[in-house]
């Protein structure tokens, strides 16, 4: 089974890249003989700048310890695009939000005063609020501070179509469960934004629920790919024979992470039998757009089964999709 290989490789890469970042952060602290208590964890970029200045002067024979210690270092502000994936009231006027940020990944931030009539957040922040943000960077140990949110209109009205709203909630739940904090996924961000936009646009279409289901399936497959769990859907994962509509029986094994042919199915006790149309959809994603709702429901059932196995529990929103 190659799932573990993919997973291990993926995590190894992430660990390596993180340790690189951490190293950059610890160096400046060592250079301070008497760090300022009020700002124990200064921000990376600014600290780097001060360090190089310090080193240049030190190399030139001058010492600037006093310079580094005397001034407080303001928080570094970062501008980026973000989508709110969770919003909780913190006080009468403030919220704690979980944001999926294009170049940063998932973070938690406090939005002080976001519920006030006049604020830098364009009103209270709701789930699926999307737009340009400014936030002060943080460490994993403490909340970031959101200072601005230029909310794009038209992203928070999906609640008037319950099925589309639930599909967006399921997509959000899966994204949140399968990504780590401060783990950037710019391509996944773009796919997620596209998914929310398209779902919003198809709500008045003739076959709105079919279209929405197709968008959800494509987003879920994009999510699996982006987090390194892409299933093999164009061939039998065991004997590598390419999928063909001539296969008399087709199965999907969540543990093996892909399709299984009839000759191999006996070795995979967790397999689920697929109807040919559903298997055809998975093997050729272009067919998803033209498939009927019944077929898409079967494909979604398989995916929910697969996410349940992957997460070790059923996604909370799954029951709202499968019963509709
Ligand atoms: Zn096979």
Farthest CA pair distance, the chain = 80
The rounded Å distance from CA 145 to ligand 1 centre is: 52
Instruction: Say how far apart CA 211 and CA 225 lie, in whole Å.
Output: 21
| CATH topology assigned to domain 158-322 | de novo design (two linked rop proteins) (1.20.1440)
Is the pLDDT confidence value at 251 over 90?
yes
Distance 282 CA to ligand 1 centre (A): 16
Bridge partners, 252 (sequence order): 259, 272
**What is the structure's pLDDT at 324?**
65
Domain edges within the chain? 43-74, 77-151, 158-322
Expressed in angstroms and rounded, the spacing between residue 8 Cα and the centre of ligand 1 is 25
Residue 131 CA to ligand 1 centre (angstroms): 46
pLDDT per residue over 183-203, tens digit each? 999 999 999 999 999 998 886
The more confidently predicted of residues 12 and 137 is 137
For residue 235, report the distance from its CA to the centre of ligand 1, in Å.
Answer: 8
Cα of 237 vs centre of ligand 1, distance in Å, is 7
Is the pLDDT assigned to residue 141 strictly greater than 80?
no
- The alpha carbon of 224 and the centre of ligand 1 are apart by a number of angstroms equal to 22
SS3 202: helix
The dihedral built from the CA positions of residue 182, 187, 193 and 199, taken in this order, carries a sign that is: negative
What confidence tier does 292 reach under pLDDT thresholds 50, 70, 90? very high
Question: 77-151 — its CATH code?
Answer: 2.40.50.140
pLDDT at site 154 = 67
Amino acid 171: pLDDT: 97
Q: How far is CA 302 from CA 45, 113, 243, 252, 278, in A?
A: 45, 43, 17, 8, 9
Residue 261 CA, ligand 1 centroid: distance in Å: 4
């Amino acid at each position: 089974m190659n799932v573990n290989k993919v997973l291990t490789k993926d995590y190894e890469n992430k660990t390596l890249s993180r340790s690189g970042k951490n190293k950059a952060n610890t160096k400046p602290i060592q250079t301070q003989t008497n760090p300022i208590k009020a700002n124990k964890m200064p921000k990376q970029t600014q600290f780097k700048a001060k360090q190089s200045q310090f080193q240049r002067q030190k190399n030139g024979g001058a010492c600037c310890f006093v310079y580094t210690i005397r001034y407080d270092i303001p928080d570094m502000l970062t501008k980026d695009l973000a989508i709110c994936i969770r919003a909780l009231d913190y006080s009468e006027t403030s919220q704690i939000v979980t944001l999926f940020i294009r170049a940063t990944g998932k973070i938690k931030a406090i939005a002080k005063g976001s519920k006030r009539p006049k604020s830098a957040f364009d009103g209270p922040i709701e789930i699926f609020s999307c737009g340009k943000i400014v936030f002060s960077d943080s460490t994993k140990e403490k909340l970031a501070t959101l200072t601005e949110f230029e909310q794009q209109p038209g992203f928070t009205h999906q609640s008037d179509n319950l099925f589309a709203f639930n599909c967006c909630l399921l997509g959000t739940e899966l994204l949140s469960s399968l990504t780590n904090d401060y783990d950037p996924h710019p391509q996944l961000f773009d796919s997620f934004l596209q998914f929310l936009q398209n779902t919003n646009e198809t709500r008045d279409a003739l076959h709105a629920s079919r279209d929405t289901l197709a968008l959800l399936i494509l987003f879920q497959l994009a999510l699996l790919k982006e987090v390194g769990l892409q299933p093999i859907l164009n061939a039998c994962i065991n004997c590598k024979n390419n999928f063909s509509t001539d296969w008399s029986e087709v199965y999907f094994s969540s543990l093996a992470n892909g399709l299984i042919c009839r000759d191999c199915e006996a070795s995979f006790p967790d397999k689920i039998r697929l109807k040919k149309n559903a298997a055809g959809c998975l093997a050729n994603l272009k067919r998803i757009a033209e498939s009927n709702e019944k077929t898409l429901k079967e494909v979604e059932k398989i995916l929910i089964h697969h996410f349940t196995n992957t997460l070790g529990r059923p996604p909370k929103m799954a029951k709202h999709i499968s019963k509709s």
